[in-house]
């Protein structure tokens, strides 16, 4: 049995920008996860915002993100596989 989940990841130029954007999204009633930037998409230390699928409409340039990524996570008997796709729309 397998399942797949999609989420959007926003990366930022600074941790302050990530915290600011997280607060903006929370003020809109969303619950973004402030998580370490996945190693698959950046090797530097940093934090990004993770939004579960369905929250995409809330993403606007005012969040001052650096890049948007789509994460697809497939889970089956063998474990988890994550795929990251950069969405070519910068703020």
Partner 1 sequence: MSESRRTLDARGLACPGPVIMLKKALEEGGSDILEVMVDNAAARENVSRYATHSGCVLLSVREDQGIFTLSMRAGASEGAGAHADGGKEAAKEAEPLPEKPGDAGSADGATVLVASDRLGRGADELGALLIKGFIYALAEADVPPRRIIFMNAGVRLSTEGSPSLPDLVRLSGRGVEILSCGTCLDYYGVKEKLSVGRISNMYEISAFLLEGRTVTI
Q: Contact residues for partner 1 (CB under 8 A)? A: 15, 19, 33-36, 39-44, 47, 81-86
The CA distance from 89 to 35, in Å, is 21
6 or 85: CB nearest partner 1: 85
| Closest approach of partner 1 to the CB of residue 59, in Å | 19
| Closest approach of partner 1 to the CB of residue 40, in Å | 4
C-alpha distances in angstroms, 50 versus 1, 59, 71, 77?
A: 25, 11, 9, 25
The CA distance from 40 to 20, in Å, is 24
| Closest approach of partner 1 to the CB of residue 44, in Å | 8
24 or 42: CB nearest partner 1: 42
The CA distance from 51 to 25, in Å, is 10
């Amino acid at each position: 049995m397998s399942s797949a989940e999609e989420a959007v990841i926003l990366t930022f130029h600074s941790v302050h920008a990530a915290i600011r954007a997280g607060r903006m999204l929370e003020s809109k009633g969303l619950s973004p996860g402030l998580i370490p930037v996945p190693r698959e998409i950046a090797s530097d230390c940093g934090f990004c915002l993770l939004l579960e699928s369905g929250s995409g409409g809330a993403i606007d340039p005012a969040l001052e993100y650096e890049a948007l990524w789509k994460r697809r996570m497939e889970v089956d008997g063998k474990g988890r596989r994550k795929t990251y796709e950069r969405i070519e729309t910068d703020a």
